[in-house]
Every structure is written in C-alpha cells, then in structure tokens.
Amino acid sequence: MSKASFHHSDEHLALELQRKMEGASQVFLLTDSNVAELVLPRILPLLKNADKIDIIEVEPGEASKALDVCHHIFQHFIEANAGRDALLVNLGGGVITDLGGFIASVYKRGIPFIHVPTSLMGMCDAAIGGKTGIDLLDVKNVIGSFAYPKAVLIQPNFIETLPIEHIKSGFAEMVKHAIIADPQLFDALEIIDIEEPNHIALFIERSTLIKEDIVMEDFMEEGRRKILNFGHTIGHAIESFCLSVDAPLSHGHAVALGILVEAKMSYHLGGLDLESYTKIQRLLSKSFQFPKNCQWEDILPFLFNDKKNKNNQVRFAIPKKMGTCEWDVAVDLEEARAAFEELINE
Amino acid sequence: MSKASFHHSDEHLALELQRKMEGASQVFLLTDSNVAELVLPRILPLLKNADKIDIIEVEPGEASKALDVCHHIFQHFIEANAGRDALLVNLGGGVITDLGGFIASVYKRGIPFIHVPTSLMGMCDAAIGGKTGIDLLDVKNVIGSFAYPKAVLIQPNFIETLPIEHIKSGFAEMVKHAIIADPQLFDALEIIDIEEPNHIALFIERSTLIKEDIVMEDFMEEGRRKILNFGHTIGHAIESFCLSVDAPLSHGHAVALGILVEAKMSYHLGGLDLESYTKIQRLLSKSFQFPKNCQWEDILPFLFNDKKNKNNQVRFAIPKKMGTCEWDVAVDLEEARAAFEELINE
C-alpha cells in the first residue's frame, strides 16, 4: 500500500504520472467532461506519447457510478484488447475514482490503476484508502471492492478549477478528519476562508494523512477504520433519500449534516462537551443547511440499508471528545431521531 | 484459505452446510433450474429453517454468467435488505460458482459465500481456487475477482445426477491435473470407465487436492499456479470461437482439445516423450472430437484476448514430462498452428 504523493505543480505531477505509466502495454484515462475541459489540457501536453492514451469520458455526477456505465467501459476495454498489464488512470473527483477503481479491480480480475484526484473530496477522501464502488437502486457504493491503486498522485492546486459547492463538499470530510483525529486541524479549519482555494490547499496533505494512517492500520475495516464513518451513517441516509426524490445533495453536504446529527448525539450521550459541539455546529452551519423536505421518517428506511449494519442494528462512529472517536457504538435510534429533529427545528 | 471438505452422504453434507450457515443474518441460495430439480430436493429437507432460505434460480448454462444476471441478483439482495453478514450458498456447477462467487465478492464489497459444487467440473476445478468470473462479448471470465469462499463442501455422489456430457467435461480437468502433477492419477484415469459415476467419484478428491495445493502455493497466480492453464490457452480460444458462432462446446470439451494441441506442442518442442503424448492422445480422443467448422484462422483472434497475455505475446503452460509442467513459456504461434492443424487433419 503506497502513500499518496503530493506534487505542487502541473509539471511535477505530469513527470510522476509519466514515470508510473512506463511499462504499461496500454494506457486508458477515465475522466468526466468537466475535468476533460478544465484539468486535462493542463496535463496532457506535458506527457510524452499523450496521443497514445485512450481517453474515456463519462458524464459528470453520481449517475455515472452505474452498472451500465461499467458495461460500456468493459466493452471498450475488450474491443481495445486491453490485457492485464494495461493501466487505467482515473482523473477526476470521487465519482471517477470510485467508478474507475471498481472497473479496474474486476476487469480481467484486476488491472493496475492510478488515481489523480481533481476534487477536494477526492484528494482528502475518495481516492484514499482503496475502496471502490458504484450505486444501484439509490443505494450508494452497494457494489464495489477493496482494491489498492498503484499510485495516488495529488496536485492540490487543481482545486482552483472547482465551483465553491465542490470545495464545500470536500471541506466536510476535512472537518470530519479533524474531529475524529486532529483537534489542531479543527482549529485551523475554523479560521480559514473556505472560499479561498489557497487557504484550503494548505491543509489537504494533513487531512489526507489522517485517512491514510487510519486505513493502513485497518485496511479491511474490521476495527478502527470504522471511525471514518463518523457522520456517514446519518449522512448516507440523507443522501440516499434526497437522491430518491430527485433532489440530490452533494456527498459532502450530506456528510456535513450527518456530522451535525452525530455530533449532537455524541453530546447527548456524554461524549463531546458543549464547547466542542458548539464549535462544530458553528463551523458547519455556516456552509450547510438541512433540506426543507427531509423528515426523520424519510431517512429511516435508508438507515437500514447501510453496509455497516450487523444483524439489523444500526451502529455509529461516535466521537468521545474532540480528536478521538469510538466505533461500532449501538445507539438507540430514538437518540438519533432526537438529535435530527432538534437540528431541523433550529 | 480453507480446504474443500468431502462428505460422502447427503446427510453429512447437509449437517456441515447447516453448521456453516449459523450466524448469518440471511441465507441466499443460488442455483440453476436443473440443480433445483435434481439436487436441491435431496438437501433442503435435511436443513433446519429451510423455509427461511431465499432461493434464487437462474437458467442453466454459460449464458447466465452475464452482467444483466448479476444486475438482477444485486437488485434482489438490495430489495431483501441483505447486509454484509448475509451468506450466499452457490449450489451448482461452474457457472453457478463463478457467477455467485463474483456477485458475493462485490456486493457491499464482499459478503461470505459457500460453494457446494454439483458438477464434476465444479468439484475438481471451478469451485476450487478462489477465482470468480462472468463473460462479456464472448470473452470468458473477463470480469471477475479473486475471492475465497468461506467453505467448499463436496458430495462426490452428486455427479450421478449429471448427463454423460457433463461428466466428460469435468473429466478433462481431471486429466489435466494428472498430466501436470500426478502421473499415477493419469494411469488410474486410463483404466476407469468414465460412464460409471462410481469409478470417477473415487478420484475426485485426489484431483481436487492437486488444484488446492497449487493454488495455496500461489494464490494470485504470479508463478506456479499458471500451470493450471495447461490446455486452456488453446482451449479458451476454441471455446470462445464456438460460442461466437452459436455452436457452443462445453468448457471441458474445449479444454480437452486444448490439452491435445498443447501436449502435441510439448512433444514437438522436446517436452513430453512420444509414449506419454500417445497415451494422452488415446485417452482424450475416445471422448472428444474437434468441431468440423473450426480452423486455425477462426481461433487466432481469440488467442489474443487471453487474460494471461503480456505485451501481446501468447504464453503457454507446457508439460516438461508427464507430471511436471512449466509456465509462461513463449511459443511461436506457428508451433501452435502446426500442432492444431495436424490434429484436425488426423
């Protein structure tokens, strides 16, 4: 399991990518049409033999994480006679790295792949940790694999290509990492201006390292890795519900709301103290609001479809205090309901 | 990686299956309509809570190893709220274990599964070794994973439910195991009557153990496991071609033809001596003939789609002598053509 490497200019990133592509019999590059317009032209001219790279473009957005999209790309690989030593470069946000990672992990039982995340969410979270996945029936990542990329190459300045909503989405995961493992990072995130990509870019590496350290300790998610699910149990349910009524929220937005609910649960249960909870609430409420139409009864069915459930109990990752988190905590769902309803009525 | 266990009565098999199902939150059983008719009624009445097992039936035959079949089963799992501690029992031949193993390995990034092979091919080969796969565009197993079942339970007498063509198909893999690793097994297979299930059943465990030993040594197929591909480089190409012209051969039939060609290549290249080659030729020609319409030019394109190819070179597993096999042998395709054409003109 190799660590993500950071490259602070397009030239350095391209140089490293070039090095990693050597030896591959064929190179495919998966991206979406936004990234193809905004990032690809910065990198492609810097690569030797760029004309030999087979570029596969999908629509931007979560809807591309689908079985029929996989089907098309598998067909493309087969028609191009892609062998086991072909390489797939996934250039894009979490959708691209989740989708491309899954495809690479099952095509011919696994070909090498490289992630080059272009979104903040990708850099801090989705591209790190070797999980891949696609969605089905509004259930996120319900089909997927554990598969580790050959390399993860990060150029933090790519985030300047992102709309503010995407920055916010990734920011939620940075806040999560800070709460579960790094109180000093939390203090920093409170101060910076999230509308300034330069500010954010300063803290990407620190956030990424938190996730990497946790994953290295527990790749198969049998124990401590589960703390990364903080905010996600409620967050995924909100996200799935919103998707099911055709009013999708970004993943980060849903996670931010999940963090709010689960932090409040922690506070109620004697975990986070009032000061810490209030700081979290103040930081996230600036950028994230609950959707108007979303009631507890709406999200409840989606809570039961979480991959982390065992024997139909819902388990949470719950911070003990700022910087420390417990996992596999069975919490009465009435606690979750109470926290959720207090927040939506605030 | 646990070894396959052998159970010589339906009662013993059911007892062990029962034990392995304990602790699962839900049990799904994947099978095909033939097996549902011939084998399932022997086992189901012997299980406690049989009525709680969710039985999923697919059409018999290779066509079920398809992405749209996976899609339906994934949907079924989601609708049944199957969690990560659900269990999938794959009761059937190689199609069922390949398909079910793949589905289980990617649903929620992997749920436990048990193989109960009912075909000779399944017992000796497909259910052993942790490879899963489905087909696309006439390319066999082009989508798949390495994933190890929680258990493989074998009741050798199930083969009495099989038509003779299926017995023959599995027999080809037994012959392969004998050639690459066990000359004494080869001698035994020469003597027995393959129309007698009792005769065959005696040697299943020995054949299965050969594969298990090789797989345990090299699970990810980086070295010696590749000797299991003996007969399969040419065999897969013949099989894919026949499928593409709607005249499918059984996998074992294609492998038997592949063994004939590759054994002849070995003889030409100074590997197998004339006596060994002649024994192989005599044993397999009794049961397997080349299809009339199949020329070298027909199978050539399919040779280049083999998963094992590196840098577009075709590599073979080639026996050095009876009981020993080399792998990753780059052979000039003219050698393969010569052996193939000699055989089809005999």
Confidence label for A306 from pLDDT (cuts 50, 70 and 90): low
Q: Which single residue is written with the structure tokens 């109960």? A: B116
Provide the ipTM: 0.89
Asked whether the predicted pLDDT for residue A312 surpasses 90, the reply is no
- Which chain A residues are Cβ-neighbours of B237 within 8 angstroms? none
Asked whether the predicted pLDDT for residue B309 surpasses 80, the reply is no
Asked whether the predicted pLDDT for residue B307 surpasses 60, the reply is no
Task: Say which of A67, A145, A312 has its CB closest to residue B71.
Answer: A67
CA atoms of A17 and A151, how far apart (whole Å) = 9
| Mean pLDDT score of chain B | 94
Distances in Å between the alpha carbon of A103 and those of A71, A145, B310?
9, 10, 20
Q: Mean pLDDT over residues A17-46, rounded?
A: 97
- Residue B290 in tokens: 């080349």
Provide Rg for chain B, Cα atoms: 20
| Mean pLDDT score of chain A | 94
CA atoms of B181 and B208, how far apart (whole Å) = 12
Chain Cα centroid distance, residue A44:
25
The verdict on B222 touching A (C-beta cutoff 8 Å) is no
The verdict on A301 touching B (C-beta cutoff 8 Å) is no
Confidence label for B306 from pLDDT (cuts 50, 70 and 90): low
- Tell me the shortest Cα–Cα distance from B150 to chain A, in angstroms: 16
Distances in Å between the alpha carbon of A106 and those of A84, A109, B236?
11, 5, 19
- Which chain B residues are Cβ-neighbours of A109 within 8 angstroms? 131, 133, 141, 144-146, 307
The verdict on A74 touching B (C-beta cutoff 8 Å) is yes
Q: Which single residue is written with the structure tokens 């349910």? A: A237
Confidence label for B220 from pLDDT (cuts 50, 70 and 90): confident
pLDDT at A220 (0 to 100): 86
Q: Mean pLDDT over residues A220-240, rounded?
A: 94
Give the pTM: 0.90
Asked whether the predicted pLDDT for residue A201 surpasses 60, the reply is yes
Confidence label for A311 from pLDDT (cuts 50, 70 and 90): low
SS3 of residue B29 by DSSP = strand
Asked whether the predicted pLDDT for residue B311 surpasses 80, the reply is no
User: What are the two backbone dihedrals, phi and then psi, of residue B133, each rounded to the nearest 5 degrees?
Assistant: 180, 155
pLDDT at B120 (0 to 100): 97
**Contacts for B274 with CB less than 8 Å, ≥ 6 apart:** B267
Q: Mean pLDDT over residues B277-282, rounded?
A: 97
Domain range A5-161, its CATH number among 3.30.530.20, 1.10.150.120, 3.40.50.1970, 3.30.70.60 = 3.40.50.1970
- pLDDT by residue (tens digit) across B13-67? 999 999 999 999 999 999 999 999 999 999 999 999 899 999 999 999 989 999 9
Instruction: Identify how many contiguous H helices and E strands chain A contains and give both numbers.
Output: 15, 10
Return the domain boundaries, chain B. Answer: 5-161, 165-344
- Asked if the Cβ–Cβ distance from A78 to B136 is below 8 Å, we say yes
- Asked if the Cβ–Cβ distance from A109 to B139 is below 8 Å, we say no
- Asked if the Cβ–Cβ distance from B145 to A310 is below 8 Å, we say no
Cα within 13 Å of Cα(B179), Cβ side = 35
Asked whether the predicted pLDDT for residue A123 surpasses 60, the reply is yes
Asked whether the predicted pLDDT for residue B237 surpasses 90, the reply is yes
The verdict on A106 touching B (C-beta cutoff 8 Å) is yes
- Asked if the Cβ–Cβ distance from B25 to A83 is below 8 Å, we say no
Asked whether the predicted pLDDT for residue A309 surpasses 70, the reply is no
- Asked if the Cβ–Cβ distance from A142 to B107 is below 8 Å, we say yes
- Chain B stretch 16-55, residues whose beta carbon is closer than 8 A to a beta carbon of chain A: 25
- Which chain B residues are Cβ-neighbours of A136 within 8 angstroms? 71, 74-75, 78
Confidence label for B313 from pLDDT (cuts 50, 70 and 90): low
Confidence label for A3 from pLDDT (cuts 50, 70 and 90): confident
Cα within 13 Å of Cα(B3), Cβ side = 13
- At the top level of CATH, the class of A164-344 is mainly alpha
Q: Facing residues of B90 across strands?
A: B30, B115
Confidence label for A308 from pLDDT (cuts 50, 70 and 90): low
- Asked if the Cβ–Cβ distance from A109 to B310 is below 8 Å, we say no
Q: Other C-beta atoms within 10 Å of B62: how many? A: 19
Asked whether the predicted pLDDT for residue B192 surpasses 80, the reply is yes
The verdict on A229 touching B (C-beta cutoff 8 Å) is no
Confidence label for B225 from pLDDT (cuts 50, 70 and 90): very high
pLDDT at B97 (0 to 100): 98
Does B165-344 match B5-161 at the fold level? no
Q: Mean pLDDT over residues B249-268, rounded?
A: 96
CATH number of B165-344: 1.20.1090.10
- Which chain A residues are Cβ-neighbours of B228 within 8 angstroms? none
- Asked if the Cβ–Cβ distance from A143 to B106 is below 8 Å, we say yes
- Tell me the shortest Cα–Cα distance from B299 to chain A, in angstroms: 15
